[in-house]
Amino acid sequence: MESQVRGGTRWKRFAVVMVPSVAATAAIGVALAQGALAASFSVSGQSFKVTAKSLEGTGFEQYGAIDSGYTLTGEKADHPVAVSAFSEARIQKLCQSVVTPVPLFGGAVSLTLTAGDSTDQQRQVYAKNLYIDVEDLGADATFRNIDIGVAAKDAKKGPGLNQDEVANKKTNPYGFAQQAESATLTDVKQTAWATTAGTFKLPGLHMKLQTGKHECY
């Protein structure tokens, strides 16, 4: 069974209709015993933008959650997200950008990260047990052997629920989820709040700081 999706969504409330997403950061976490990562940190007051030419992922699951963190002025804030999880993923031509307001430098400073700009899979970004907390997505997507409407706790095709989110009541194990044996996404554009992974390999990594606003899209 295959399903194709094109378009974008804006997450204004908790997990409604969800589509897969992909994001990446340069941080490498410490895996739990079962091979999944606990996103036990408070998210910053800044979301970040990500683009990718393509993503080939196996073991896909997705469910709704809440990321707790801050605003840029230090107030507590909660962010509704769609958590997309992959057992393994390869990403071609990854770009990640975040813009920080800094009046001293003309209003803003931009950090851009790029990696994996190759048709050779061995030179593409590789992630294992990848969890992405996303609020906005646009992509072309194909799912293989997809199940839509599964109870989140019963989604077994991917790395499983983030147990830290369950323990802290940031996701409902009985809520809506979907899963697929594999997924292919192309022309990905997304905004995310957090990413964690058991393993993150970034061939050809390049990081650049610039004054002004310079984003991946």
pLDDT per residue as tens digits for the range 137-176: 999 999 999 999 999 999 999 999 877 778 777 889 999 9
Q: What Cα–Cα distance (Å) separates residue 2 from each residue in 134, 147, 182? A: 23, 10, 10
Residue 46: inside a domain: yes
Domain total of the chain:
1
Residue 144: what residue type?
R
Q: What Cα–Cα distance (Å) separates residue 110 from each residue in 19, 107, 132, 147, 212? A: 28, 10, 22, 39, 6
Residue 129: inside a domain: yes
* 148 in Cβ contact with 62 (< 8 Å): no
- Residue from 9, 5, 203, 213 nearest 100 by CA: 213
Residue 42: inside a domain: yes
107: left (phi over 0), alpha (psi -120 to 50) or beta: left
Residue 216: inside a domain: no
* 153 in Cβ contact with 40 (< 8 Å): no
Using pLDDT thresholds of 50, 70 and 90, give the confidence band for residue 27.
Answer: very low
Residue 62: inside a domain: yes
Q: Which residues contact 75 (CB under 8 A, 6 or more apart)?
A: none
pLDDT at residue 7 tops 70: no
What's the angle, vertex CA 142, arms to CA 140 and CA 147, rounded to 5?
A: 130
* 111 in Cβ contact with 44 (< 8 Å): no
Q: Residues 29-40: what's their mean pLDDT?
A: 37
pLDDT at residue 20 tops 60: no
Q: pLDDT at position 1, please?
A: 54
Q: For 176, what's the count of Cα atoms within 13 Å in the CB-facing half-sphere? A: 10
* 43 in Cβ contact with 131 (< 8 Å): no
Q: Pick the more confident residue, 168 or 53.
A: 53
Residue 217: inside a domain: no
Residue 81: inside a domain: yes
Which structure tokens are listed for 25? 């950061």
pLDDT at residue 32 tops 80: no
Residue 125: inside a domain: yes
User: Which residues form the domain of 98?
Assistant: 2-211
Q: pLDDT at position 164, please?
A: 75
Q: Residues 25-49: what's their mean pLDDT?
A: 56
The rounded percent of the chain whose pLDDT value lies above 70 is 81
Q: pLDDT at position 167, please?
A: 77
